């Protein structure tokens, strides 16, 4: 199976990136904390070596009832996020988007709520996942470690 082939996650060369793929929702008790944390991570590590990719989903408690365009507008105006927010998708069941099927199959862990995070290296491999309640300070070191690998590889290739 080609890792996340439908999305700009797999990369190589001078533009290689580490990616945090997240299922997001606007009307959830976890929305504020998670959008602010994702914004902070994207600002701290991106955009050259890192990106957050947000995928709205309405499969948990109808917490994302908005159409895709409104989700993007909501996140940008309320939280100032600048990372990509894709069209609303399904992440569970037989209609699950292939990208999320790949993520779930890679770690054998299916999201049970909004804001599950999957860390993907530049080669398209899922290296770690976090539940929505995990604090940003737990996630940050793993992102930094993956970015360090990119920088070291670039230096070795010079």
Active-site residues: which are they?
A: 28
Spatial separation of the C-alpha atoms in residues 21 and 30, rounded to whole Å: 16
Strand pairing partners for 52?
Answer: 20
Spatial separation of the C-alpha atoms in residues 121 and 33, rounded to whole Å: 24
Radius of gyration of the chain measured on its C-alpha atoms:
15
Q: φ and ψ at 81, to 5 degrees?
A: -70, 145
Burial class, 138, CB count within 10 angstroms (exposed 0-12 / middle 13-18 / buried 19+): exposed
């Amino acid at each position: 199976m080609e890792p996340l082939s439908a999305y700009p996650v797999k990369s190589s060369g001078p533009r290689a990136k580490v990616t945090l793929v997240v299922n997001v929702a606007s009307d959830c008790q976890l929305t504020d904390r998670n959008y602010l944390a994702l914004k902070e991570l994207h600002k701290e590590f991106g955009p050259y070596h890192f990106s957050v990719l947000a995928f709205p989903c309405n499969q948990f408690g109808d917490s994302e009832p908005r159409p895709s365009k409104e989700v993007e507008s909501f996140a940008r105006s309320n939280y100032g996020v600048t990372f990509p927010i894709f069209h609303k998708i399904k992440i569970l069941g037989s209609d699950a988007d292939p990208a999320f099927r790949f993520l779930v199959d890679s770690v054998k862990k299916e999201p049970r709520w909004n804001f599950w995070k999957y860390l993907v290296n530049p080669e398209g491999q899922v290296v770690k996942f976090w539940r929505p309640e995990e604090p940003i300070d737990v996630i940050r070191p793993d992102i930094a470690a993956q970015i360090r690998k990119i920088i070291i590889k670039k230096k070795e290739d010079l």
